[in-house]
Chain A
């Protein structure tokens, strides 16, 4: 009932921009990616995950969501023939993320398993130009009077203010792939009430991307609150098997106590359908086939965006 992304924006001092940033759009429109054959592969990937991968009639969401994700990542990795720096990436699952920050006299923190994290050796270059960053100074964060922005957050007793990208828990020091590149969130619970709604999923993506970026920034530049000269960029993709949410988050400042000054930026592209419907058995009424079995309504644009976000930073 309460909009999630707006609350997440206030908590992370972020300005929202609709649509993906122009750098990612540029990768999408690049013609020598060879997207035609990849479309075929993508259709096969969806059919495999949704139709063929099971002994029963139809695979359930817990099964097809991770399979679809693996297939899409596989197609993206095939591009490392053309772009050799793509091989400098690794995937990590179930790593714990912890980040703490203070926001107008309330101490907030993000803790937990941050989905599937993809790390790379080199960081993503900043997406927004310096002027755009300075222009966010004029943007005013919206308040939700009379509701406090920290409503519905769990109150916990914190004994240690932790900030780590999983360094102490998952990765050892000196690990070569140390820059968080993209986070993937799969909503694969079978029951609809256990899954996050798209709005809530976007808010969760924003909070975890922010947590990763903040922990990385504090690891690189120390714990003081200041505007970063090298903004940290983290991307995240969330899906429930059919709807995709794409997000690029750029951390411009770690000075989050006050409400003015430079803000962080986030570009969100929400509710992109990869396909309309996947029929496992053809729908037949009175002997007439209404809907044939198979994937209908495949949208190649969604896969293009997925690929563009994967290639971002190396192209």
Chain B
């Protein structure tokens, strides 16, 4: 079975106790060394914006409430060991707030504990996911498009054109890396001989193989962008430190830009791709 992370993260030789002249590592990411998947929350160490040398790399991070990391399975079609690669259903047991999803730009999507067969895992919950729902995951692409319910995971080739999707993969089997923030959704625009074209929430278009799996629906916690922080203290609880007070005159980088969309990003390695816009 695949290890959960790409092997234990080996800290640089300096922090293994050898007195070398390399910069000593003050924060070992040793809490990330868990190879086996587990549902229980794992204690994590905060970095405070510091990188492996111990110096500040990113400003404005630090403090905040303690969090425990819940390992989230982004690969929906992960089969259990010994299970055949065919469609399977899972049942949603619990939908809860994830404290680790409160990164500054991405929203705090809720996570759902689902159980199927002999294992439980955490996945990103879609809007309207309630405890007790059943969701299906299927790898098959039929001739006719499947009428998908919200929360199910199908390959893009099996979904009808125009469905709202989330948790998209760029390569089949890689795990969802796109459209994971709260309330986001992509639209499946069209399907072109073996590939599918999806519009991401930034209005950019992306071309992927149609065997890439995505879940149907919008990501949960839709009203996330409408909430008001209210006070400076709440930002500090989230782990964001204040900005500098120094007044800068803004340069050419500031302000709204109006420009044409960047060209469509294609993750399909075809020798000569056909006409696309």
Contact = CB atoms under 8 A, between A and B. Distances in A.
B189 interface: no
- What are the nearest 8 A-B pairs in CB distance? A146-B89, A148-B118, A147-B115, A146-B116, A148-B117, A151-B118, A1-B93, A146-B91
A131 interface: no
A159 interface: no
Interface of A: 1-2, 145-148, 150-152
A146 B90 contact: yes
Given A1-B93, A1-B94, A2-B93, A150 B116 contact: no
Chain B's interface: helix, strand, loop or mixed, by majority?
strand
Interface in B80-125: 88-91, 93-94, 113, 115-120
B94 A147 contact: no
Nearest to B115: A147
A152 B89 CA distance: 18
B47 interface: no
A2 B132 CA distance: 11
Contacts of A145: 89
19 contacts: A1-B93, A1-B94, A1-B113, A2-B93, A146-B89, A146-B91, A146-B115, A146-B134, A147-B91, A147-B115, A147-B116, A147-B117, A148-B118, A150-B118, A151-B115, A151-B118, A151-B119, A151-B120, A152-B120
Interface residues of B, number: 14
Interface of B: 88-91, 93-94, 113, 115-120, 134
Nearest to A151: B118
Nearest to A152: B120
A177 B90 CA distance: 48
Contacts of B94: 1
A140 B117 CA distance: 20
Given A1-B113, A146-B116, A147-B91, 13 more contacts: A1-B93, A1-B94, A146-B89, A146-B90, A146-B91, A146-B115, A146-B134, A147-B115, A147-B117, A148-B117, A148-B118, A151-B115, A151-B117
A268 B88 CA distance: 35
A85 to B, nearest CB: 47
Contacts of B93: 1-2
B91 to A, nearest CB: 6
A191 B116 CA distance: 31
Contacts of B89: 145-146
A152 B113 CA distance: 14
Nearest to B39: A152
A2 B134 CA distance: 15
Contacts of B120: 151-152
B81 to A, nearest CB: 10
Nearest to B94: A1
A145 B134 CA distance: 10
A2 B113 CA distance: 11
Nearest to B89: A146
Contacts of A2: 93, 115
Contacts of B88: 146
A1 B131 CA distance: 11
Contacts of A146: 88-91, 115-117, 134
A194 B147 CA distance: 46
A231 B94 CA distance: 40
A2 B116 CA distance: 13
Contacts of B118: 148, 150-151
A200 to B, nearest CB: 16
A152 B91 CA distance: 15
B108 to A, nearest CB: 22
A99 B90 CA distance: 31
A147 B118 CA distance: 7
Nearest to B118: A148
Contacts of B115: 2, 146-147, 151
B36 to A, nearest CB: 12
A180 to B, nearest CB: 31
Contacts of A152: 120
B132 to A, nearest CB: 11
A2 B114 CA distance: 11
A234 to B, nearest CB: 29
Contacts of B117: 146-148, 151
A152 B93 CA distance: 14
Contacts of B134: 146
A199 to B, nearest CB: 15
Contacts of B116: 146-147
A86 to B, nearest CB: 46
A280 B115 CA distance: 45
A169 to B, nearest CB: 31
A145 B116 CA distance: 8
A148 B116 CA distance: 7
